[in-house]
Amino acid sequence: MILDAQVSARTNRRIDRRIKEAGFKIRAHPQEIDYHHERGLTGSALADVLSLGFLRHHQGVIISGPTGVGKTFLCCAIGMAAISKEYAVRYVRLSALFEEIAVARGAGAYMSYAAKLRSKDLLIIDDFALAPIPSRGSRELLDLLDDRIGTSSTMIASQVPVGSLHQSFEDATVADAVLDRIVHSSRRIEMKGESMRKLLAPPKEEE
């Protein structure tokens, strides 16, 4: 019993450390996913992703849908499920990722930074293509994805439908290469509906 308690305590500490390292925007859990509002989510649609089969096969996930439908929450919930199975996860917004890469290159520490990202079993990139992706950024993204192909998984969340992502890149040639590495090997979850912030907002008091 003492040995079991020690093993459990070490596992919990390791999971807590990985949660902190992941940098989730939201502390979300799979059991908290809301299936009551019409958002294109069903238990069967998510079962395959939440079973983490995509991680075992080094595939990706693309979550798309309008603003406010819960893409970030869903990303973080899937990431939390992965950590509970002791996968290493990192969550980052695309704009922040570009900033981190620029800082690492300026400090002469890019190789170390890239190695840390490469070590993550799941890289979650949120707010993908929220703004036009510049040529320099798209090349950085291509290098990053090349490092992960066949060895780990990448999840992206975007307001832009998959069929329109190409138009978000300033460099069409690099866009082809980036999307080729993302789209064809990824499971897709297409969300819809009104903003959850609107649906869950308290009713306004009558004047």
**136-160 pLDDT, tens per residue?**
999 999 999 999 999 999 999 999 9
- The helix (H) or strand (E) run that includes residue 157 is strand 153-158
| Residue 204 confidence (pLDDT) | 56
Return d(Cα 10, Cα 3) in angstroms, integer.
Answer: 11
**Average pLDDT, rounded, for the chain:** 90
User: Helix, strand, coil % (nearest 5) of the chain?
Assistant: 50, 15, 35
| Residue 46 confidence (pLDDT) | 84
In the predicted structure, residue 198 carries a pLDDT above the cut 60? no
In the predicted structure, residue 165 carries a pLDDT above the cut 90? yes
Return d(Cα 86, Cα 92) in angstroms, integer.
Answer: 19
Tens of pLDDT, residues 172-191: 999 999 999 999 889 999 99
The stretch 114-129 carries a mean pLDDT of 96
Specify the DSSP class assigned to residue 50: H
| pTM of the model as a whole | 0.89
Q: What is the SS3 assignment for 63? A: strand
Tens of pLDDT, residues 33-83: 988 777 878 767 688 899 999 999 999 999 999 999 999 999 999 999 999
